[in-house]
Chains A and B, each alone.
Chain A
Amino acid sequence: DTGVSQDPRHKITKRGQNVTFRCDPISEHNRLYWYRQTLGQGPEFLTYFQNEAQLEKSRLLSDRFSAERPKGSFSTLEIQRTEQGDSAMYLCASTGQIPYEQYFGPGTRLTVT
């Protein structure tokens, strides 16, 4: 399968714990995006990488959130000291030469109890 993959698919954690999600984009894609989607809403942009450089961060991304893409391939999104309001679906997308054509992974559903 050459699509975007995300791991884990589901994560349940207690408030205050740290969590880390991984996204593996389509191999030749140089741009990678993270979005967050809550129930009944469309996805909201969080951050964007071109290769290993993080070029934009949404103000939704508080200082408890950090994202990396160390070698320009896979990316991680870490949430520290999770809060119940962090419960959401976290989506990763990648794109290649056509920047507006984004391919999405299945998402990681986070539940903070």
Chain B
Amino acid sequence: AQSVTQLDSHVSVSEGTPVLLRCNYSSSYSPSLFWYVQHPNKGLQLLLKYTSAATLVKGINGFEAEFKKSETSFHLTKPSAHMSDAAEYFCVVSGAGNNRKLIWGLGTSLAVNP
């Protein structure tokens, strides 16, 4: 069965400093992995996706993630945090079979301090 574990429930950074949100996955086959962001009172938005192509994936708003099979990790990074990055971030793995239901981590709340 597929699962994801987000290693930090809360991360706090200062504006302009790097962001690292950690995610480990478990999958019995080559997974598709995603990061979604949820701003308060807004819908979920896809940040980036890994689907067995390049292991370093670039997303929107300067975010990127690296798929590391040996470490079963898919950590999300950004070189310099912006106040508008404050939100809830979810690491997600795609389920098996044709339905492609998404299996979600519990989320990491990112706070950006001025």
Contacts and interface: CB of A to CB of B under 8 A. Distances in A.
Contacts, number: 59
A40 B105 CA distance: 11
A42 B101 contact: no
A100 B44 contact: no
Interface string B69-96: 0000000000000000000001010110
A75 B34 CA distance: 25
Given A40-B106, A42-B90, A48-B99, A100 B32 contact: yes
A99 B100 contact: yes
> What is the size category of the interface that chain B forms with chain A?
20 to 34
Contact of A42 (B45, B49, B99, B107): B107
A41 B106 contact: yes
> What is the size category of the interface that chain A forms with chain B?
20 to 34
A75 to B, nearest CB: 15
A56 B43 CA distance: 24
B34 A42 contact: no
B112 to A, nearest CB: 20
A36 B62 CA distance: 29
A69 to B, nearest CB: 14
10 contacts: A3-B43, A31-B100, A41-B107, A42-B92, A43-B90, A56-B99, A91-B43, A93-B102, A100-B94, A100-B102
